[in-house]
């Protein structure tokens, strides 16, 4: 699986992130990407953002490892 790096600095990046998440089998439950749902198993999780407001590496990974 390709490692995604997703900078979150503005609206364009958020739209791009949504498209990337769809490819990874993950659904964004809100537009800020702070609440995610796995399309495979339906698990939901909330990645903790870094101090600078960006999301951590691999934040899109399902806790059940569907998309690792």
Nearer to Zn ion, 16 or 66 (CB): 66
Q: Which residues between 1 and 60 bind Zn ion (CB under 5 A)? A: 38, 40-41, 43
Residue 20 beta carbon to Zn ion: minimum distance, rounded to whole angstroms? 17
At its nearest, how many Å lie between Zn ion and the CB of residue 12? Answer: 28
25 CB-near residues (< 8 Å, 6+ apart): 38, 39, 40, 62, 66, 67
Q: Which residues bind Zn ion (CB under 5 A)?
A: 38, 40-41, 43, 62, 64, 66
């Amino acid at each position: 699986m390709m490692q995604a790096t997703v900078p979150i600095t503005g609206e364009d990046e958020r739209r791009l992130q949504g498209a990337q998440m769809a490819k990874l089998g993950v659904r964004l439950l809100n537009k800020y990407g702070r609440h995610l749902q796995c399309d495979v198993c339906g698990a939901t999780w909330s990645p903790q953002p870094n101090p600078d407001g960006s999301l951590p590496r691999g934040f899109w990974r399902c806790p059940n490892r569907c998309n690792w």
